[in-house]
């Protein structure tokens, strides 16, 4: 073997050894990165889980495994946040309380805030059972409810229930001792908000009639009572229908205007009405200056979607004046029915 060949072989071996060493180093670096990433990911998951449970007042040190909890020890269980995950000793129950209305009165915010309470389980969507799906039966209705513990109150909301004539009788057939929540707001503003939602979601084009064209009869220049948004604000008419089937003591009226300004005051009254221990405090809320309404404070703050609290369409003052005059006798009748007055209506 010549010196040239020997030198060449040695050079090749050294080169291969160099690349092997570099490969080992690269492999070690990749392994280290993956290991560190896995540790960070695992720690992050643990951190978020611990913070989440802490945020809902669950003391991990004293919390036994769910399988070890006796059937009667429901008070120490964590609140079920996932609507469709089943823990031991949970079932789907028909609602013991229903938010029946009113549309654009603040029902979304109301059930959103009530969900903070550990003894309340809410349906995640408007079920529309009593108005649109009654023929499907109670088993179908039950399957739309969240899994909950026996000490929790299941609440469903469908604002359309309040204005549907046949709904109260159907609700009573299901549960004659059920508790009902009705959140109302000043009728003129509610009517404008109702129109704004339709205009904003469905059409939002210049060809759709203006609020004035729908709310005021062009022939008589008076308020058009057949306009759906106006008709839904006739609280006395719809309340009279519900009082045919339920005692007033079963219906708690929530001041929607005050709820928007100070939700805590109204929530406290609801806790009393539902015979629940006081668990929700003012510290659970904060006012968002951009959205201009209250949000839920926590490790991850929760606010209503941007579709809520949207700016109303502009309505001429003379139309508002006519609407207030139209609603005034209906408001007075409603006040007599519920033995309560709302200022600035």
Judge whether 104 counts as a catalytic residue: yes
Q: Cβ contacts of residue 30 below 8 Å, gap of 6+? A: none
User: Per residue in 284-323, is it b (16+ CB within 10 Å) or e — as a string?
Assistant: bbeeeeeeebbbbeeeeeebbeeeebeeeeebeeebeebb
User: Per residue in 48-66, is it b (16+ CB within 10 Å) or e — as a string?
Assistant: eeeeebeeeebeeeeeeee
Q: Can you state the percent helix, strand and coil of the chain, rounding each to 5?
A: 50, 10, 40
> Has 87 been labeled as part of a binding site?
no
Q: Which residues pair with 153 in a beta bridge?
A: 120
Instruction: Report d(CA 298, CA 52) in Å as an integer.
Output: 8
Phi, psi angles (nearest 5°) of residue 338: -100, 0
> Has 311 been labeled as part of a binding site?
yes
Instruction: Report d(CA 71, CA 88) in Å as an integer.
Output: 9
Reading phi first (left if > 0) and then psi (alpha if -120 to 50, else beta), residue 286 is in: beta
Six token digits for residue 6: 């020997």
> Has 260 been labeled as part of a binding site?
no
User: Per residue in 100-126, is it b (16+ CB within 10 Å) or e — as a string?
Assistant: bbbbbbbbbbbbbbbbbbbbbbbbeeb
Instruction: Report d(CA 342, CA 259) in Å as an integer.
Output: 13
Instruction: Report d(CA 26, CA 194) in Å as an integer.
Output: 64
First to last CA, the chain: 110
> Has 294 been labeled as part of a binding site?
yes
Six token digits for residue 268: 């406290």
> Has 256 been labeled as part of a binding site?
no
**Contact present, 188 and 324 (Cβ < 8 Å):** yes
Q: How big is the chain, counted in residues?
A: 345
Catalytic residue among 104, 164, 179, 322: 104
> Has 275 been labeled as part of a binding site?
no
Give the annotated binding-site residues for 3'-phosphoadenylyl sulfate.
185, 193, 294, 308-312
The catalytic site residues sit at: 104
């Amino acid at each position: 073997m010549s010196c040239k060949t020997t030198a060449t072989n040695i050079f090749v071996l050294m080169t291969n050894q160099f690349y092997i060493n570099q490969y080992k180093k690269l492999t070690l670096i990749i392994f280290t990165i993956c290991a560190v990433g896995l540790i960070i990911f695992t720690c992050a998951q643990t951190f978020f889980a611990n913070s989440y449970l802490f945020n809902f007042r669950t003391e991990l040190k004293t919390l036994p495994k769910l399988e070890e909890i006796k059937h009667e020890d429901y008070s120490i269980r964590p609140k079920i946040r996932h609507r469709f995950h089943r823990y031991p000793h949970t079932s789907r129950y028909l609602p013991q309380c229903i938010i029946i209305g009113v549309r654009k009165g603040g029902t979304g915010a109301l059930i959103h805030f009530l969900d903070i309470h550990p003894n309340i389980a809410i349906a995640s969507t408007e079920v529309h059972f009593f108005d649109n799906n009654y023929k499907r039966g109670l088993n179908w209705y039950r399957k739309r409810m969240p899994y909950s513990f026996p000490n929790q109150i299941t609440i469903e909301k469908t604002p359309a229930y309040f204005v549907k004539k046949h709904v109260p009788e159907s609700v009573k057939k299901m549960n004659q001792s059920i508790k009902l929540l009705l959140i109302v707001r000043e009728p003129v503003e509610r009517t404008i908000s109702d129109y704004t939602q339709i205009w904003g979601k469905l059409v939002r084009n210049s060809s759709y009639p203006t609020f004035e064209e729908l709310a005021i009869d062009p022939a008589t220049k008076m308020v058009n009572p057949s306009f759906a948004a106006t008709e839904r604000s006739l609280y006395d008419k719809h309340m009279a229908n519900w009082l045919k089937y339920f005692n007033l003591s079963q219906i708690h009226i929530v001041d929607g205007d005050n709820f928007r300004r100070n939700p805590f005051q109204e929530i406290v009254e609801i806790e009393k009405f539902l015979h629940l221990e006081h668990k929700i405090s003012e510290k659970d809320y904060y006012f968002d200056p951009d959205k201009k309404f209250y949000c839920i404070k926590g490790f991850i703050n929760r606010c209503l979607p941007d579709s809520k609290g949207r700016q109303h369409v502009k309505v001429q003052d003379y139309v508002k004046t006519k609407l207030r005059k139209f609603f005034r006798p209906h408001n007075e009748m409603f006040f007599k029915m519920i033995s309560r007055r709302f200022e600035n209506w």
